[in-house]
Amino acid sequence: MKKLMLTFLATILFLGVTVAQKNQIPLIGSHAPSFTAKSTNGTVKFPDDFGKDWKILFSHPQDFTPVCSSELLELAYMQKDFDRLGVKIAVISTDDVDQHNLWKAHLEELDYKGRGTQKINFPILDDSKATASKTYGLLHEPTSSNKDIRGVFIIDSENTVRSINFYPMQVGRNMKEIMRIVEALQTTSQTKVLTPANWTKGDDVMVPYFPYTKAQLAANPALEKEYYNVGNRMWFKKVGNNTQDDVKKD
């Protein structure tokens, strides 16, 4: 009897751990979980079907709601900008694909902000069974057990999670800020630099170390004009034609 009870308790513990793992939010640096879903663009396996492009998974609470509608119209308007960065977009909610198709058709008839009508080319994924929502930790039960909060997962070309952001249902996301994060991530990945607070593309970047030795400076005096410091902890690298003559070097 005692052995049977221990086996029962072990099984309950195992099931509890398994459920907790399925509901855990994928962490920065982890591999993005794969799932397959029906969508407005046919069946999609995310993130695999997007290949070596960067990907952003946007979750939203419900189709036809005002905040969600404004976000999708902003994404549609900025689609070409994301394309230039090599970024593919996917949107997901716990509504089904039939509802998604009706919503998409409705949105494509609207003239939002006087920009004219916009085509929605990115897929809107059906997660009516909430499988992917649980895998990505999108159901925050103090808020809702069946509707996603506003999540943003930025995933790189190797399908590694690079950035995670969550927003409450009542607050729309700043799509330009999300694009800025992508630009910052791509910049730091490509050149092994850092981006300071409020950085935007084209601004000077930071380096995490003293940028040159005395010997390197002697061999290449131009290095002194390429870098500058603020205090003894922050070293910057100039980008493009930016000048920092007004920054006092310490």
* Of residues 169, 162, 167, 223, the one with CA closest to residue 190: 162
Please give the Cα distance from 33 to 29 (Å, whole number): 12
- What lies within 8 Å, CB to CB, of 238 at 6+ separation is 204, 225, 226, 227, 228, 244
- Catalytic-residue membership of 250: no
Q: At what angle do helices 175-191 and 66-77 cross, to 10 degrees?
A: 50
Torsion of CA 196, 72, 68, 138, to 10 degrees: -60
Catalytic residue among 68, 125, 139, 184: 68
Please give the Cα distance from 88 to 48 (Å, whole number): 11
User: Annotated active-site positions, please?
Assistant: 68
